[in-house]
Amino acid sequence: MKTSLTALVVFATASTTQGWWDTGHMTTAEIASQLMKPDDVKTINTILSRWDGQFPNTGEITTAAIWPDLIKCSSKSAICPSPAVPSLAMGDNWHFVNLPLYTNGSDWHGLTSKDGAKLIQASFGGFGLNTLNNALSTVQKSGSNWSVNYLVRYLLHVFGDMHQPLHAVTGISSDFPNGDLGGNSYALRQPCVATNLHAYWDGVGNLYPGNWSPTMSGNDPARVELTKNATALIQKFQGQADPLNFQQYSSLSWKDFVSAMSKVGYLSLVLESYDLARNVVYKDIDLTVDGSKKIACPSSDYQKKVLDTVQLRFYLGGSRLAVILTQVAAQLRQSTLVTNVHTMMIRGGKPLVPPIAIEPPAQVEEGSQLAEATPQIDLPQRMDAPIMMNTPERVPSMTRDARVRQLIFSARAIGQRKYKEIHTYDVPPNKVDLDHPLETAHEAKLLKDYTMLAASSKRAGKSEAEATAYFAMGIIFDNLDEFERAIEVYKKALVLLKDSEKVAFRGLVHSCIGVDYQLLSSGNVAYSGRFVAASSTELEHALTYHKNHLDLNTDDAGTFVAHTNIGLTLGSLARFTEAAKHHQEALRLAIRLNSAYGQSIAVGNLGLLASRQGDLATARACMDQHLQLIQTVQDRSAEVNAWMQLGFLSMREQEYEKASRYFEQAYELAKELNEIGVMKQASCYLGIARGCQRLPALFSCVNPKK
């Protein structure tokens, strides 16, 4: 049958679906969006939009509502059109609560919906209530964008699920004494519009059977019709009182709101659905099971009853969800998660960069600290000496833009490439390395002073002061790229510290030696994680010293550095599985330290490692997360590199249109930062991506089909 509600949409693209079906979830969420204030919608969407990279078109309230079903997809199909195949089924039992109910309408062991607490205790399974309560608890406590994004998506979805009566019960009868799994056990004889009773209600008797798709946004006809349908349902039911009066929770403080939802709000919703299952779902339907364990397809009158019931549930679910999300939005604005939002960059009317909240990295006042204010992925991480040691300041690593200019676009680099094109042998080494820092009178004087300090400390028997002098000399040699000389003096410091109780100092020296061996391993080529030499003696030495650093059990920050450097070294030794484990451990420590920078480094290194092994799906997931984290700490230079890396991945996946957008993003940002080298590099790759994008059309013109 067809309803007279003109905005009711019946999509022709699907015959089998999942969920309260996607259309039901999106309708409920769209109603909530239309009933909320625009600023509150924008706040929630700010969080949700951060996952658009891997899950396109799930970055707003309406479309994010289907996400918990989408992530269960283990293969791409008409009902699972996500570009990613998440295959994440561990949350299946988060969507329902199986409260026991006799399908013949009698009380289950004398219990009714008035005995809510006892029914919950008697539940046959399902963690729907727990999921809803955990979502609000996470919003209240968490400083993690990822955690809040994850649980808000489940809140949107499961709150809608709880309005589907068969998500709140398991029907008990002589045919199914252990419960019918929310109607799933009642298979329907075919032909019928659904395979079982639960699916019949999920799809509203096949009157709301549509599916979400990655392109269902903006002016897409399906999205336009869904929006119209939500508006029509609001107009139809807006004057009708809410039996649970969720509006009463709108004026509560956040603390009182969370308490009220936990104690009353969510439970009353589940019990309301319980009564609907008892008084509507299992009534006026023939539940006689035949020899094939099936029941008759419901009548047209039953289908009309389902439609009337569910449309009201959509409206009530949306209006109640609006109250909850308004409270959530207010709480998010008081946290650090959606403050100081970046300005979005717009291309063709669409945001290329989701708005990112600023989450400052944790500042460690004592213990190990990174030497770099803005550490870079794919490079060894150095630790800074405590201020009290009064050692020379380390020269920061060359910026990525400076490296690109020097190694790709400098006159000498261009000359070397031309030389190699003409000759079959390498460019003869220069007697003077033009890229090598020159020792000035200042460094010479410092080295002389520290040499004298080491000698005087030795005469006075002050071994730790002598070790400190040698350590200071090592920093000076590092600044001059004299890594072999630096290792020599660092080792002298280690000998003096052999029996010292200054474990952190010993760990620091081991780390410095390990990094220097890494930098030596690549010879005249600047070292990065891209360099691989499985039999390199220098890399084996680096691994030994980094492991020594790790074994000294320094603080979490020092251990993070050790795991990061071990991961890079193992990657250069082609021991990729071991490398990944250390980068994962670095990520765990960064999360524990609440360091957004640390998390960005660890997940970025994991992405590059996966890319070099050809695991492009993992690489993209990691790089998407790296981009979000680096935007969080406002390291815009690193953000340029993140967009470049995403562009490289898209090129390898032959997604040239997406690659063009990423390279254009990198180009515009590099131009704004005046990073000329990276801007030129991005421009080159942008041209390549656009060329690849247009090649099929070009070839079709050259060789048109007959």
CATH code, domain carrying 375: 1.25.40.10
Look at residue 706 in the predicted model and tell me its pLDDT: 42
What six digits make up the tokens of 366? 């004592």
- Percentage of residues in the chain having pLDDT higher than 90: 46
Residues 335 and 469 occupy one common structural domain: no
In the chain, which residues have pLDDT < 70? 1-20, 78-79, 82-84, 89-90, 336-373, 387-388, 397-398, 400-439, 553-554, 698-706
Domain presence at residue 705:
no
* Phi, psi of 413, deg, nearest 5: -65, -40
CATH code for the domain of 160: 1.10.575.10
Which of 623, 657, 672 corresponds to the end of one domain?
623
Residue that finishes a domain, picked among 322, 339, 356: 339
Q: β-pairing, 169-172 with 99-102?
A: parallel
List CB contacts of 252: < 8 A, sequence separation 6 or more. Answer: 260, 327
652 occurs within a structural domain:
no
State the pLDDT at residue 394. 82
pLDDT for the residue numbered 352: 36
The answer to whether residues 159 and 36 belong to one domain is yes
The predicted-structure confidence for 70-86, as pLDDT tens digits, reads as follows 888 877 776 677 666 77
Are residues 35 and 113 both part of a single domain? yes
Q: According to the model, what pLDDT value does residue 523 have?
A: 81
How far is residue 197's CA from residue 255's CA, in Å, rounded to a whole number? Answer: 39
Cα dist from 402 to 333, 676, 677, whole Å: 38, 9, 7
How many domains does the chain contain in total?
A: 2
pLDDT in the model for residue 168: 96
- Any domain includes 430: no
Quick one: 463 exposed, middle or buried, by C-beta within 10 A (0-12, 13-18, 19+)? middle
180 and 256 in a single domain? The answer is: yes
Q: Kindly state whether residue 675 falls inside one of the protein's structural domains.
A: no
Contact 179, 122 (CB under 8 A): no
Q: Domain range spanning residue 570?
A: 369-395+437-623
Q: Per DSSP, which regions of 173-240 are E strands? A: 187-188
Q: Is residue 676, in this structure, part of any structural domain at all?
A: no
pLDDT score, position 412: 52
Domain end call among 324, 339, 354: 339
pLDDT tens digit sequence for 565-578: 999 999 999 999 99
